[in-house]
Amino acid sequence: MSAADRVGLRHGAGGRAMRRLIEEVFLGLGGPVEDGVGLAAMDDGAAIRVGDQWVVMTTDSHVVHPRFFPGGDIGRLSISGCVNDLAMMGATEPLGLTCAVIIEEGFPREELERIRDSMQQACRESGANIVTGDTKVMGKGEVDGIVLNTAGFAVTRRVVTDAGLRAGDKLIVTGAIGDHGMAVMTRRHGLDIEGDLRSDVAPINRLVRAALDAGGDDVVAMKDPTRGGVASVLHEFAEKGKVGVVVDEQSLPVHAEVRAAGEMLGIDPLVVANEGKAVIGVRAGSAEKVLAALRAHPLGREAAIIGAAVAERPGQVIVDTGFGRRLLAEIEGEPLPRIC
């Protein structure tokens, strides 16, 4: 069996390789969803119509190394990731979450309780509640420490997908990019970066609600730039909306610590994971209104309009550097595995 016939770490890293694996292996599992969003859409969750509302569901498994990193830990990550995926579909008030925990034999109980406390804190911040769960203990070496799976459900009267862009729409990012991936990366490799480099991991459902309340039906696309970073989100927006995307590089909010780490490691912050941010597509006439609502929220103070959808070059993402333009390629896989 050749390496091409085996699954590699790059297949779980959020880039093109992961998308291809899902399309080739798993997409056939999905059936049609009438007047809703199903597996074939490859969005942040599913939406099934019930009367005049949609039930939105999502699930995600969380593994990260190290489990505790500047600004967060795997527990906070597991709640934030689930709540944020619901919010990206327009469902910002979770009805309930589930949590399944797989623990390796010998795992420190003190560490397990710290993770639980962190999950409780993230639940309080988001208004979410864990309503059921499952616990399994595996033998030594059968799982690396701990794996958390969370699932969530909520209802909404309007589903927002990642396929709604049309030419002229503006693109907003809700804050500085690259913090989570760079914080994990520098901690894992013991890199000494000046400043306070911390993960942005947080539930942002209330921030997203502020954007939806301000923009209404003019909010037409949303996605959180986790694995694969902002670059992967923009590629998905462009491909699904059949538009081109032009990014103004000078307008990208990037903290100095992230920029320094990126230059040291040769990694573009656009491809680095975030765990407390969203990229939002808005009709041009409402962009400033949505931006103001985001900046009025504590988690959205650094929000910025970073680009626009255009009719030219559908499916492609172009970075305007201020001196010229370059194509932004979708990465094959995240530069750092086991990050969320």
**Residue 278 confidence (pLDDT):** 98
Q: Rounded to an integer, what distance in angstroms lies between the CA atom of residue 34 and that of residue 326? A: 40
Which tokens is 186 given?
Answer: 């520098």
Residue type, position 304, single letter: A
Residue type, position 242, single letter: K
Per-residue pLDDT of the chain (340 residues; tens, 9 = 90+): 777 788 887 787 677 788 888 889 988 888 888 889 999 998 889 999 999 999 999 999 999 999 999 999 999 999 999 999 999 999 999 999 999 999 999 999 999 999 999 999 999 999 999 999 999 999 999 999 999 999 999 999 999 999 999 999 999 999 999 999 999 988 888 887 778 899 999 999 999 999 999 999 999 999 999 988 999 999 999 999 999 999 999 999 999 999 998 988 889 999 999 999 999 999 999 999 999 999 999 999 999 999 999 999 999 999 999 999 999 988 776 566 666 6
CB distance 274 to 212 below 8 Å: no
What pTM did the predictor assign?
0.93
Q: Could you tell me which of 70, 72, 146 has the C-alpha nearest to residue 110?
A: 146
What single string gives the DSSP state of each residue in 84-117? HHHHHTT--SEEEEEEEEEEETT--HHHHHHHHH
**Residue 334 confidence (pLDDT):** 59
**Residue 186 confidence (pLDDT):** 87
**Residue 248 confidence (pLDDT):** 97
Omega before residue 66 within 30° of 0, cis: yes
| Tokens 């103070």 found at | 301
Q: Rounded to an integer, what distance in angstroms lies between the CA atom of residue 170 and that of residue 281? A: 6
With a CB cutoff of 8 Å and minimum separation 6, the contacts of 120 are: none
Q: Rounded to an integer, what distance in angstroms lies between the CA atom of residue 193 and that of residue 158? A: 43
